[in-house]
A and B are shown apart, each in its own frame.
Chain A
Amino acid sequence: MNLAPETGSSATSPGASESWLRRNRQALAPWLFLAPGVIFFLFYVIFPILQSFNLSFYRWDGLGDPQFIGMENYRELMDDRAFEVSLWNNLKWLLLYLLAIPAGLFIALFLNQTVTGIRLYKSLFFFPFVISQVVVGLVFSWFYDPTFGLLNQVLAWVGLGPINVLGDPTLVTYGIIIAGLWPQTAYCMILYLTGLNAVDPEQVEAARLDGAKGAKMLWYVIIPQLRPATFVAFVVTIIGALRSFDLISIMTNGGPFGSSRVLSFYMFEKALSEYGFRMGYGAAIAVVLFLIMLCFIAYFLWSMYQDDKGGR
């Protein structure tokens, strides 16, 4: 059976109409492959973001009817002392968490040798990243425990007084950040170990012949070649710092006196705690956190775009 050609295409040869079909098939195919993933993602990730923005203009206890109050939630945030504390703590997290990058590089350089059993050592060093932050949090709260914690025992040996890290409003955030740095450093270490594997040995040899070694070699020859690893380490560390929630929830529950809260925890507390379900206010906090992260996301996407332009 021969189907009559459409009007307008009658002039084209059969070969061209076949290629039209093929082009069409190829134009349709990606959308069929994309549909389930995109729909799911829009439904569970993209729309909820917009809904949260919308919700931040309402007063809502999660049960009754939401009441539109405009910018009121944001105005309240400006005078909210707890919000201010959370914001400062987020800043501390952001800055101190970045220590994971040099620490990871240091351990990677230390382990980048070929001696017997080094592979096993490398994977054991990576251990802290594989276990849940819940377990890390528990372990570190025992480590800091004022009555029996190992930290105070060690301090006592060197003649320093007992401290209660998690009970002290000035120390608590630093204590939790150190717990978080542990797995994060492990992650950065793996990134750098992989990066070091790809370092060009000829360049290293050439630099060696020119008399470069130690710190000079590291700074001028090795670190520039580790740029991709540093970029990924930077991305995951920033995201990790802003997402910190598990450790705070497990180790202090935001205390003492709310001094270890960060935005992600404060939002959760406002929206889903016994102090009342302030969904709209929580959403406003989440929007602030989102906007902070958006600066970084935009930067990451921009550099990915720069990379991608070179591709096919």
Chain B
Amino acid sequence: MFPKPIQNSSRAWQTTYQALVPAALVMWLLPLIAVAIFSIKPEADFTTGNYWGVPSSFEGLSNYGRVFFGSDMPRYLLNSVLITVPTVIGAVALSCMTGFALGVYKFRGNLLLFFMFVAGNFVPFQILMVPVRDLTLDMGLYNTKTGLVLFHIAFQTGFCTLFMRNFIRALPFELIEAARVEGVAEWRIFWFVVLPLMKPAIAALSVLIFTFIWNDYFWAVVLTQGAESQPVTAGITSFNAQYRAAYHLMSAGSIVAALPPVAMFFLMQRHFIAGLTLGAVK
């Protein structure tokens, strides 16, 4: 193990380390801690200049209450859910199939198609912006959640295919061969042999895509406008315009917007990290 295990060090260094880690964490998360404190402060603290001091009273309930009952926030949150969940399902379903095809079969153009997905996934969004916006307008899906979902599914399929294909390649190929010798149909091999083994990959991708799509801002701005269909990332900016100097409300709103992916991460941590570190360990 590197660095040397702390247990083998001097007592003094061990104690220092135990104190250093939380101190470093507080420094590292200082911006977020500040926002969390902002969100429970009364408005008066900001007008009197008590920005970074101790809150003069606890107003968390009324601040969060106003975010939930006095603004468009719940609507933006609902939009985000309605955009994110179908995207996750769609992208994961499509990429299970593409990943299976590219991982299991040998055919001409296999690597070429695989590289198409990988390269497409790395592309800058701007090269897609104008045509995709046009396409969405032409289909009558501009400013709808469906328009966003369809694009997100297509784009995320690139990353998901990369992931799924590599995952399937690492499975024991003998299982598939054995099923073939038994004469099992290809789609049954996919459904009954491979898919059950892919559960960890499906879990990893689901949390990852959830986070990516929940946090997407660019496409939300390009393909939608207004509270009817915009997700919470775009909503928070209009919230910002509406409550420009109301830091307590903005902070509460930001925390509400950030919470779902954070919760996802903590619930599914192992899978999340497995997805992000794909290829980082050999």
Q: Which residues of A contact B (CB under 8 A)?
A: 22, 25-27, 29-31, 33-34, 36-38, 40-41, 43-49, 51-52, 55, 62, 109-115, 118, 121, 123-128, 130-136, 138-140, 142-143, 148, 150, 153, 182, 187, 190-191, 194-199, 201, 204, 213, 217-218, 221-222, 228-229, 231-233, 239, 242-243, 245-246, 249-250, 263-264, 267-268, 271-272, 279, 282-283, 285-287, 289-290, 293, 296-297, 300-301, 304-305, 308, 311-312
Chain A residues in 8 Å Cβ range of B25: 121, 124-125
Interface membership of B69, Cβ < 8 A: no
Given A44-B150, A139-B35: A153 in contact with B52 (beta carbons within 8 A): yes
CB-contact partner of A45 in B22, B29, B154, B237, under 8 A: B154
CB-contact partner of A142 in B151, B180, B247, B276, under 8 A: B247
Chain B residues in 8 Å Cβ range of A123: 265-266, 269
CB-based contact A109/B113 at 8 Å:
no
Which applies to chain B's interface (DSSP): helix, strand, loop or mixed? Answer: helix
CB-based contact A142/B123 at 8 Å:
no
Interface membership of B215, Cβ < 8 A: yes
For residues 49 through 76 of chain B, which have their beta carbon under 8 Å from a beta carbon of chain A?
49, 51-52
25 contacts between A and B (CB under 8 A): A29-B187, A30-B101, A37-B157, A38-B98, A44-B154, A45-B155, A52-B128, A62-B134, A115-B18, A127-B32, A130-B262, A131-B261, A132-B257, A139-B254, A150-B30, A150-B51, A150-B52, A232-B277, A245-B125, A264-B124, A267-B129, A279-B130, A290-B127, A297-B122, A301-B119
**Residue of B1, B5, B247, B265 contacting most chain A CB atoms (<10 Å):** B1
CB-based contact B98/A48 at 8 Å:
no
Total interface residues on B, using CB and 8 Å? 101
CB-contact partner of B95 in A37, A187, A250, under 8 A: A37
Given A135-B257, A140-B31, A301-B118: A222 in contact with B2 (beta carbons within 8 A): yes
For residues 16 through 48 of chain B, which have their beta carbon under 8 Å from a beta carbon of chain A?
17-18, 21-22, 24-25, 28-32, 34-35, 38
Which applies to chain A's interface (DSSP): helix, strand, loop or mixed? Answer: helix
